[in-house]
Amino acid sequence: MTQFTSRYGEAPYQPFIDANSGKLYEENTEVYWKTLKKTVEEYIDHPESKFENGQHCGTMRRRHLGVDSILYIGKEPNELEETQILGTDEEAYVEYRNGLDHAS
- Structure confidence by residue, pLDDT tens digits, 21-75: 889 999 888 888 888 898 898 888 777 878 887 777 777 788 888 888 877 666 5
97: domain range?
67-104
pTM of the entire predicted model: 0.39
Residue 8 located in a structural domain: no
Number of structural domains in the chain? 1
Q: Is residue 51 part of a domain?
A: no
DSSP per position, the chain: -B---S-GGGGGGS-EE-TTT--EE-SSGGGG---HHHHHHHHHT---TTBTTTTSSSS--BPP-------EE-SS-SSHHHHHHH---GGGS-EE-TT-SSB-
Residue 73: predicted pLDDT: 64
pLDDT at 103: 47
> What is the reported pLDDT for 54?
74
Per the domain annotation, does 76 fall within a domain? yes
